[in-house]
Structure 1
Amino acid sequence: MFNPSLKFKFLAIFLTIIFISEIILLVLVSYVGHESLFETFFLNLLLLLMISGVLGFIFLLSKYFNKSVEEIHSLTRQKEALDLTALVSETNCEGMITYVNEMFCKTSQYTEQELLGKSHNIINSGTHSKEFWHDFWTSLKSGNVWNGDICNQAKDGSLYWVNATISPIYNSHKDLIGYSAIRIDITQSKLIDQQTKERRSQVSLYNRKLAELIRHPDFIQNNFQGMLSTLTSMVSEVTLVSRVSVWKLHETLDGKSLECLSLWIRAEQEHSKGIEIKSSKYPKYFKALSENRTLSCDDVYSDPRIEEFTEDYFPAFEITSMLDAPFHFDGELAGVLSLEHTSSERKWKVEEEAFIISVADILSIIFESSKRQDLEAALRHSEKLEALGKLTGGIAHDFNNLLGVIMGYSALLEESIKEHPRLLKYAHQINIASQRGSKLTKNLLSFSRKKDSEARQTDINLVLQNQMDMLQKTLTVRINLDVDLMEDLWPVFLDRNDLENAILNISINSMHAMLDIGVDAMLMISTQNKVINSDEASSLELKPGEHVILTFNDNGLGMNKQTISKIFDPFFSTKGSKGTGIGLSQVFGFIKRSSGTIKVTSQLGKGSKFSLYFPRFGEQENELNEIEDDDSLQLTGNESILVVDDEKALRLLMSEQLSQQGYDVFNAESASSALKIIDEKDIKLVVTDIIMPKMDGYELAAELAETYPAIKIQLVSGFTTERHHEMVDDILQDNLLQKPYNSKILFRKIRALLDS
């Protein structure tokens, strides 16, 4: 097909040829007689050509005319479509408005007459800085097309956002005569973005408050009424709800009742309790509690589930909105957490409901502990601690995954912007903040006795020497602190921070036992190497072999056998309100994690002796530890590695990190997907998360060990459970990489595994 413009050119040439031919014929006729047959023929031919020329000329004009009309119609349709969706304006070179469309007037609320001849300052909201406008005009005056988001102000003072594209306008001489602006209203999009940011901020606040709640002294001391008071006031503070209360369900002869155990009234900043409601008077409400995870009522007077309260309870306390979350124990309704808003009606948000459900779950744990108070004290507290451990462990697992993503990508970012010091500083601060978050998670896990160990080769003598000044200040000058440290003490493999806490806890317990001794109070700390034979190892529940013994010997009040049997039980304390009963239970957990044991001997009136046994750190393990700490190791490679993690962000992060080290990386979101990839690819090493749905990391490792014994395995987790851990050997367990991890540690472990 010819281009239409070429057709017109050919037609013009053809008509020109006809016109020239006519002139030639006229000249020929002038030289021929007037009465010859030749004259008649040429005259007729000339007439025919003239008629054809005229008709062709008319045809040409019509073609041009039709094309121009079509172009005008097309431009008109485009303008109509633009006017329906965009705010259009034009200005002269001085920025004065020379044209606005109807949509511009409608959005800005100004009439066309009010806008023409004015500058765009008439809709300036003052949101943007002088630097913003300086860059804006600099770009336009340079002849560039400017695009960006601008916040404008309508005539009534309301703000609206537009995405503006502003282009220079030139005349036929290419002189700048003004600017054309096309704006798209994006106010709704900006509002959604703002709401999303606020929602994320609110969820972050809720998570932080949950963590603070679990670490509150009332929770640590298992103070039941204190926990309820702390919980209700915290929920009211975070949600800005007028009344927050906790109710306990009772079975009675005439049905069920709910007793208010703690009510926080925000306006009065005080707690109360004692109100009781019965199922015989409010049967619909009690039925709704047993059938719903939450009762969310924006308008309490329009919800049939709670209509029984509209006659007395709601009017008495001016309640307008209510959000209740039942909590359960052993599958049965145990009580309800109630949020009651007064004055204006309140619309409950999804994230608020999720937060209240989490708090209700904590209440389930609190009431579980309360309901089992008739059991033996140590067993009850141990179960409580385990329940709280699961809760904090779950939070820590998710939190560690988030921190892992932040820490990993900030490290990648630091590597990418080394030539930009200012940006590098920002990225470094992000990394530091994520590391602080990691420490917070470890504190939570330490409370629950699920703390992931950071064990490494340790010199106990060196730790003691570094702690001497602090220990002496803690014990005060009243107590004589003496140490006897054996030379050439064997190294041990343990968490240094845990060891420091254990030394401090045992020393403080000794100090409290010597309060009435006076100036003769003495604490002796000693270390020694000892080979434990099979008979002694059996009595201590240790493996025979070389051990390091750390001993604390005081001349305090001593303990009887009954007290000795309970001192490591969670929350057991002989100090009354001065003690929490957590210190020695944490010491016991630390020693067990270190494959050691603790022996306590004591005599009333004579003092106590605590002997901590730790196995000697082997030479082979020492070499591996040195390899991990060796910064000169080559951390790159080209082997094929499979990353398995159900968390997409962490999976992609680790894949990116390993790819940058040169490895050929594959990734899978589940164990089943991983097995399919292994069947098809020559995988040398698998890095797998432990906690995953269906088949977890332990099960996957066991399957690989049996089916693909040549494949190396690196376990990774932010929080480990006991489930299926027996399926893998101790080497895999000991080499576990804890989230969030430092990328260099990951590279070292992988390189060491591949080279082993």
Structure 2
Amino acid sequence: MLTELKDVKHALSAMELSSIISITNDNGMITYVNDYFCEISKFDRNEIIGQSHHTVNSGYHPAAYFQDLWETISQKLVWKGEMKNRAKDGTEYWISMTVMPIVNDQGFVYQYVSIGTDITSRKENENILLQTMENLHDIENALDASSIVAITDDKGVITYINEKFCEISMYDRAELIGKTHRIINSGYHPKSFFKEMWETIKQGLVWKGEVKNRAKDGSEYWMHTTIVPFLNDDRRPRQFISIRTDITDRVKAETALAERTKQLAKAHDEAIKANMIKSQFLANMSHELRTPLNAIIGYSEMLQEEAEELGESFFAEDLAKINKAGNHLLALINDILDISKIEAGKMELHLEIYSLPDLIQDVMTTIRPLVESKGNKLQTDCRDGGEFTSDVTKLRQILINLLSNANKFTEAGSIAFDIYKEARGNRFGFAFRIRDTGIGMTPDQLEKLFQPFTQADASTTRKYGGTGLGLAISQRFSQIMGGDISVESEFGLGTTFTCWLPSSPPDAGAVEVFDEETEALQALALKRNSELAAIPDVNRSLGEDIQSSRTLGAAEFLVEPILRESLIAVMDQFAVNRAEHTVLVIEDDKSANEQAARLLRMEGYNVCEARNGVIALACMGRVKPSLIVLDLMMPGMDGLAFIEEWRKHDKWSRVPVILLTEENKAPDDRQSNKHKPAKGGPLYVQDITGRG
């Protein structure tokens, strides 16, 4: 008996140390707590004794929970449960409790003993596990809703698939479980593709890639696939989970984009090729058209002079008409080439510093005879003079185009040409305003203005002629120079064109600006070059303004077609006594060669003819000429090659060389001309000296 009492005492001592014990009376007032109770609740014993367990109530459990507890123990039954309490410092803890009612001899409950175990850590782990399970459940739901999921064993046999897998593959679940993924293999990928995949996941590594599969009905679809291996205790894969996303639409879009890009690249290459063919065609046609035209213009001029000398005025008038028609056709060809160069972005600026009053006087000299021939009056008001930096060639062409256009549509009326300074925004410039009292235009006609090959209407074209290129070219030229052309018109009352150009041209640093002092210094440098001192600078100006001057009947430049006055004016600078001088004409075109030779012979010169540079050098070995007229564009040894060879002979270095070139001939035109290969653009003295 004593031994049993000792065992009980030891058991109670052990329980006292390991359990949370409290005793309450039948009213629930605490009469005893052990040390563990005080330790976990952080209350002193005297703070607890006489209080109820409400002192440690956390508020976590509902009232019904405690009601069930009291109903149980009031019936003399043991209650077991878990309780979340709050310590004195506010921290919370969990206890697994057993509450036992103690009955006296009369059979009444007089106190309750509560024995508890701290389960706070377990509950925290349970909460973490529960949260993890909830997260996994959410992930599973999300994957099932958005992704195509499959699980296979370590051999690749399918053990699970979600509904979306069945939807996209068009197989039932029963048809897939127990099979491998070969059932949806499209045959698109090589064996090495799957070999690399298996080698990766067998090593416990994640594999990602894009796979083309085949559905049950034969349709194919693309999947972005991620395969995750799950390992057992010995770090070997026990199963694989594949998560897939349907990327069929994206792959189709990428394929279409790649094909479209390929087509665009092909179209781009074809466009470049077509543009090159167009440029070559224009260059060749330019040469093929202008060569016979030059002959027509040149011969008609010579025959006209001969007819006038013989008193054959009837024939002279007809020849003058031929000459005029030839020049008109040549101007049209030049217009077409100009607009083609503009559209191709190959039109460049050649800036010069020049006197504005001198330019206006030059334009007036050219245009006034045409204005007077139609009975119109021309008034000019140049309020502001001084120097102006611009492409004088293009500006001259713009002004002559606008003035001739005003003259064309005005009969016995007036044309006012005003020049004045005008600021637009923060840019200063000049305005060139041309007002006429002509036929005017309707709003519909104004909308068609500045379009190439377009005039107001068909009746205008029939009555007044023209191609509509002049205004289009003028507008493009003004825009290239940083300006613009505006127009106001009222039908039946007249039209006003205003061309505005900035004083400071665009991208001035990227183009060359010439002034008189610079050109004079270049000329002095040229004269000091013993090899080149005798070469006159007879083709200094660009040929782009030839078209307008020819349209108006003026001859200002020594270019083909070779005109008598221009040629003789240059020749007389170097040969006073004509009969004493021999001129060597080097020109491959038979008509142009004969024309130049005939003109020179008519003026009293002795002439030698050569069709290319090789023949010319042989000719010079026999007869030393006093002057050389040289075409740049020739087959075999062209003009540039001839000059290089000519430099090597000191005895010929003082012979003047006059350079000929077709007007409006662009560098790319020459390079694309298979009949006349060349190395550059219109040859100026700077080109020869290397200063250009």
| TM-score of the two chains, using structure 2 as the length reference | 0.32
Q: Report the structure number with the largest CA radius of gyration.
A: 2
Q: TM-score, normalised by structure 1?
A: 0.30
Q: Which has the higher contact order (CA 8 A, sep 6+)?
A: 2
